[in-house]
Amino acid sequence: MNWQEVQNKARQKINPEVCRVCPVCNGVVCRGKLPGMGGVGTGASFVKNYQALAEYKLNLHTLHDVTEPRMSVEIFGKRLAVPVILGAVAGVKTNRLDNCITEEDLAESWLLGAKMGETLAMTGDGPDPSLYAVAIEASKKNPGIAIPIIKPRPQEEILTRIKEAEEAGAVAVGIDIDAAALIHNVSGLTCEPKTIDKIIELVESTHLPFVLKGIMTVEDAETAYQAGVKAIVVSNHGGRALDHCPGTAEVLPDIAQAVGDKMTVLVDGAIRTGIDVLKCLALGAHGVLVGRPPTIAAIGGGAEGIKAMLDYFKADLRKAMILTGTKDVQKVSKSILYNF
Ligand SMILES: Cc1cc2nc3c(=O)[nH]c(=O)nc-3n(C[C@H](O)[C@H](O)[C@H](O)COP(=O)(O)O)c2cc1C
């Protein structure tokens, strides 16, 4: 099965009210469909993620000797075949995907698909404590792959979950700080923004590299660095946290310039092709995350579906590297961008 066939399968399964598996997954049709797969409110942040990336154009450059571009990269001490990590996704029931996949199948496909594609997988968390538990169980079956991302809960609850991540053989662990305003009345989950002291407490509680997901300003990136955070994800939660955010590709260059030589800078938001990956690397990221594509892939074809999606990204990235004269994903020149 190739990526196209996997998407066709998923289209037959997913409730079209939730996601149409559009040929271009850009947040337009699913505007405001949250719970679901869309962006929050007007959907502007998701749409902007897509548009911001699309705005950057590439210089087609072919008079060179690059025939076998190097696509592998080391992140958190692990060698990845491509700098594409599965983003944190959880909550099939709350997101109205439970007619086509179970939480267990999603988590298991996530971890196994990442392993088959020789990459890493972030996993999610949510108001229902079973979501994090399911991801931890899947991580135990595939140690050395998972990066559990915990909601910005009260400190004690995070500390307990960090220990669970360590015991499950996680590669790194972190929190999605952009979920700071999440309150869930039924479960009693109350998330909170974190001061630098609270981040330091979390960082110092574990031997694992600590990740802050949901950074959109240079100021927060520098605070994260000062707190000892090892990696940030430039992210607006796929446009699902705050309406009317800039696109991640707009804020990435300044953030990468400020902290990119001191810590790992990852980015997500409407990254759909190998070309998008290459653009993000040219803008200063060390690697990218994808959220909706692997969700659709898991529904359409389980772990094999995710592998097919990753194979597509890899083939597209290889082509884009050859056609821009890029030898190595770790040394992508800004000059490949026409308008930067
Ligand atoms: C259905 C769904 C569930 C998600 N659940 C989580 C989660 O539990 N934790 C988290 O940090 N991010 C979560 N995200 C956000 C993703 O990790 C990621 O930031 C976003 O999807 C990236 O944008 P993209 O989907 O356009 O690639 C979720 C996204 C979707 C679509």
67 Cα: distance to centroid of ligand 1 (angstroms)? 35
**Among 128, 134, 237, 295, which residue has the most ligand 1 atoms within 8 Å of its CB, making it the best to mutate?**
237
Q: Name beta bridge partners: 231.
A: 211, 264
- Which amino acid appears at position 278 of this protein? L
**Contact predicate 52/339, CB 8 Å:** no
Note the pLDDT of residue 317.
Answer: 98
* Mean pLDDT of all residues in 196-201: 98
CB 176 near ligand 1, within 6 Å: yes
CATH architecture of 33-65+73-328+332-336: Alpha-Beta Barrel (3.20)
**Contact predicate 213/233, CB 8 Å:** yes
Note the pLDDT of residue 210.
Answer: 99
176: enclosing H helix or E strand:
strand 173-176
Residue 186 burial (CB count, 10 A):
7
DSSP label at residue 168 = T
CB 279 near ligand 1, within 6 Å: no
Domain assignments of the chain as residue spans, ordered by start: 33-65+73-328+332-336
Kindly report the pTM of this predicted structure: 0.98
Angle at 339 between CA 336 and CA 340, to 5 degrees: 75
CB 27 near ligand 1, within 6 Å: no
Minimum-distance ligand 1 atom for the alpha carbon of 272: 27
Q: Where are the beta strands (DSSP E) in 47-117?
A: 73-75, 78-80, 84-86
Minimum-distance ligand 1 atom for the alpha carbon of 46: 26
Q: Quick: pLDDT tens for 109-151.
A: 999 999 999 999 999 999 999 999 999 999 999 999 999 999 9
Can you list the alpha helix ranges (DSSP code H) found in 14-98? 44-55
Cα 53 to Cα 137: distance, rounded to the nearest angstrom: 35
Is a pLDDT exceeding 90 seen at residue 54?
Answer: yes
| Pairing mode, strands 73-75 and 78-80 | antiparallel
CB 37 near ligand 1, within 6 Å: yes
Minimum-distance ligand 1 atom for the alpha carbon of 270: 26
**Contact predicate 49/276, CB 8 Å:** no
Tokens 């007619």, residue?
99
Cα 201 to Cα 114: distance, rounded to the nearest angstrom: 30
CB 268 near ligand 1, within 6 Å: yes
Is a pLDDT exceeding 90 seen at residue 186?
Answer: no
Q: By alpha-carbon position, which residue is closest to atom 1 of ligand 1?
A: 37
Is a pLDDT exceeding 90 seen at residue 175?
Answer: yes
Among candidate residues 260, 284, 321, the one with its CA nearest the CA of residue 82? 321
Q: Quick: pLDDT tens for 257-311.
A: 999 999 999 999 999 999 999 999 999 999 999 999 999 999 999 999 999 999 9
**Torsion angle, CA of 248/219/209/329, rounded to 10 degrees?**
40
Q: Quick: pLDDT tens for 68-100.
A: 999 999 999 999 999 999 999 999 999 999 999
Give residue 76's region: left, alpha or beta (phi > 0; psi -120 to 50). Answer: left
Q: By alpha-carbon position, which residue is closest to atom 29 of ligand 1?
A: 89
CB 238 near ligand 1, within 6 Å: yes
Q: Quick: pLDDT tens for 213-256.
A: 999 999 999 999 999 999 999 999 999 999 999 999 999 999 99
SS3 readout for 15-38: CCCCCCCCCCCCCCCCCCCCCCCC
Mean of pLDDT over the chain: 97
